[in-house]
Structure 1
Amino acid sequence: MTEAASPPVSGTHRWVSLMVHDLAASQEFYHSLFGWEFEEGPAQLGPYVQALLDGHPVAGLGEIAQGVRRLVTWLPYIATRDADATAMLIRDCGGTVAVGPLDVDQVGRLAIAADVGGAAFGIWQGGPRRHGPFQGPAGAPCWNELIAADTSGVSKFYSVVFGYDTVPVPGAPADLDYLALHLDGHKVAGIRGVGGALPHDRGPHWLTYFSVPDVDEALRRVVALGGRQLSEPEDSSFGRWARVTDPEGAPFAVLRPAR
């Protein structure tokens, strides 16, 4: 979570972070699954560590205050050149801003918001540099996807706030409600409409995909380490993937990117 030499492009997904109830146990799970090592994060964020692959930061883990119970979920942070202006635009477009914007030493200026459907995400004015979609090493986040009831209303929110173009997936089945979010012709994230299959206990939410060399082996390891498998592996134009949760119930996906 160190600041990049030059500001990232607004709308790109720069970071993912997870707040958990048992930080030590979560570190053990993700170390065993992805090979992450950890170092202490900014003290201003409380109990917080950066996950490292080959010495490079790829994600963050923080601990929820003792006695506070809440759903555990991976949170994507989307780049902005002006966190305050973006926070104002989020409110103007029907979203909410729950935290910030606030300055965090050696990190940047952050806020936590929710879109018109209630899905939480972060905005981030600052670094670090990140691999682009499907270019990170095994164990790194490689894609973020919004899970919503449908794509129509919420896609307009993200297009206005972050300047995305919404593009249907070429060759997708006619009944698949899916849009890719593009910046300057490059895919940066997706929206998947699932209708009545939206989880009742979670509602709309962002799902982070992590790159793995073998999806089936990753599923076996998730279950052996105390997580759960939520779906059977599927093959898509993006690659082979499946949905899982960690032991605290945070959903994420494992993906072997298409070559």
Structure 2
Amino acid sequence: MTAVKVRVAHGSPCWVSLMVHDLERAKAFYGPLLGWDFTPGPTELGCYVRATLGGAKVAGIGVTPREPALPVEWTTYFAVDSADAVSQRVRECGGTVAVGPLQSEGAGRLAVAADLSGAFFGLWEGQDHLGWEVVGEPGAPVWNELVTNDEPLAAAFYGSVLGRTVVEAEPSAVARGEEDATLQVEGHPVAGIKQTTDLRDGPPRWRVYFAVEDVDLAVRQCLRLGGALLVEPYDTPYGRVARLADPEGGRFSVVRLP
């Protein structure tokens, strides 16, 4: 597998990061499950490693402070031309900037924000580190989806903040299990927005999907490694999917692409 280092277009997901309490436990879970190795990353926010797949960077895992107690969740980062300008736009649109903008050594400039429903997301102005270097391969990120109880509000917020088009799906497509709306960059869907009242989805958040070769096998391996099965494997228009949680409760999905 060859690492591809390219600047991701403004408004597109470019990185996913997980903050945990026990870094070694997280590495022992995600490493075997997704085939990851780990290399040191920037340390401004504490201990942090980058997950690699065949030498290509795919995700980050860091250590969250125990006080205040924060939930263990994956965060989707969007590539932006200016973290400072987009952070200001988040505030103007009614969102909250929780962290930053701040410089992460020479890697880039980042901020962590929350939308109107409280779903957290990140902004990344890449410099030396542009983002993930492989996607869509087994073990790599393949899709990011906002789960929300107010899809129209979310669509208006992200469209305005990122300056990109959000396209609403036809009712027949939604009935087939497709996204209620997609964030698009230059006519291509880059992230989804799904309206839900399913209590299993928890509060509004960005859901991260990782590609795997066999969803059912990944579920069994997840359980052996101390994780949990949240939703049994099921078939969707995008492929077979299961929703899982790591040993600290961090939720994510795996998908076998059609």
- Distance, in Å, in 2 between the alignment partners of 1:244 and 1:196 is 15
User: Bigger shift: 178-187 or 13-22?
Assistant: 178-187
Residues 191, 104 of structure 1: alpha-carbon distance in 2 compared, 3 angstrom cutoff: same
Residue 54 of structure 1 corresponds to 54
Percent identity (aligned): 44
- Distance, in Å, in 1 between the alignment partners of 2:225 and 2:155 is 36
Q: Helix, strand or coil for the counterpart of 2:44?
A: helix
Question: After superposition, where does 1:1-259 map in structure 2 within 5 Å?
Answer: 7-126=7-126, 127-130=129-132, 135-169=135-169, 171-174=172-175, 178-195=180-197, 197=199, 199=201, 202-258=202-258
Residues 93, 231 of structure 1: alpha-carbon distance in 2 compared, 3 angstrom cutoff: same
Q: Is the 8 A contact 2:167 2:182 kept in 1?
A: yes
Q: Is the 8 A contact 1:159 1:166 kept in 2?
A: yes
- Distance, in Å, in 2 between the alignment partners of 1:173 and 1:183 is 21
Cα distance per residue 1:11-47 (max 9 Å; x no partner): 0111000000000000000011011101111122311
- TM-score normalised according to structure 1 size: 0.90
Cα distance per residue 1:72-92 (max 9 Å; x no partner): 000011011011110011010
- Distance, in Å, in 2 between the alignment partners of 1:204 and 1:246 is 19
Q: Helix, strand or coil for the counterpart of 2:157?
A: helix
Q: Is the 8 A contact 1:148 1:198 kept in 2?
A: no
- Distance, in Å, in 2 between the alignment partners of 1:187 and 1:175 is 18
Deviation of the 1:174 alpha carbon: 3.8
- Distance, in Å, in 2 between the alignment partners of 1:101 and 1:62 is 18
Query: Alpha carbon RMSD of aligned pairs, Å?
Result: 2.0
Q: Helix, strand or coil for the counterpart of 2:232?
A: coil
The amino acid that maps onto 1:224 is R
Cα distance per residue 1:81-133 (max 9 Å; x no partner): 0111100110100100011101111211100000111100000111425468x
- TM-score normalised according to structure 2 size: 0.90
- Distance, in Å, in 1 between the alignment partners of 2:85 and 2:176 is 37
User: Bigger shift: 188-197 or 83-92?
Assistant: 188-197
Residues 157, 213 of structure 1: alpha-carbon distance in 2 compared, 3 angstrom cutoff: same
Residues 182, 161 of structure 1: alpha-carbon distance in 2 compared, 3 angstrom cutoff: same
